[in-house]
Amino acid sequence: EAQVTQNPRYLITVTGKKLTVTCSQNMNHEYMSWYRQDPGLGLRQIYYSMNVEVTDKGDVPEGYKVSRKEKRNFPLILESPSPNQTSLYFCASSLSVRGGTGIVEQYFGPGTRLTVT
């Protein structure tokens, strides 16, 4: 089954304790992205990756890191989480976003609800 998986689904942690949220897709997609969803603010992009070893900042990258060492995986790293990073996080992927073949929809993971106390 084609899917995007995220782990963990729920996480409660304390300020300053490093954490990683994993994201994996089995569709051989080039493009992957991380979003956070907050009430009243909708979906905001954190980081994205056009392909392996190519990452770039989205709209709200502060406090986050990513890496893309393999095509299927795109982990989100919070080196020193703070309470303002409490949010619902989504990973997404698509075949490509470039050129005429890139006008494709994204596939989203089920979400990770993070609480930082």
Partner 1 sequence: AQSVAQPEDQVNVAEGNPLTVKCTYSVSGNPYLFWYVQYPNRGLQFLLKYITGDNLVKGSYGFEAEFNKSQTSFHLKKPSALVSDSALYFCAVRDSSGGSYIPTFGRGTSLIVHP
Within residues 4-23, the interface with partner 1 by CB under 8 A covers 4
User: Does 103 interact with partner 1 (rule: CB under 8 A)?
Assistant: yes
Beta strands in the chain (DSSP E): 4-7, 10-13, 19-25, 31-38, 42-51, 54-57, 65-66, 76-78, 87-94, 107-108, 112-116
Print the binding letters for residues 25-64 with partner 1: x by CB under 8 A, - otherwise: --------x-x----xxxxxx--x-x-------x------
Q: How many CB atoms lie within 10 A of CB 105?
A: 8
One residue of 66, 76, 92, 116 binding partner 1 per CB under 8 A:
92
**At closest approach, how far in Å is the CB of 109 from partner 1?**
5
Distance between CA atoms of 105 and 108, rounded to whole angstroms? 10
Q: Contact positions toward partner 1, by CB under 8 A?
A: 4, 33, 35, 40-45, 48, 50, 58, 90, 92, 97-98, 102-103, 105-111
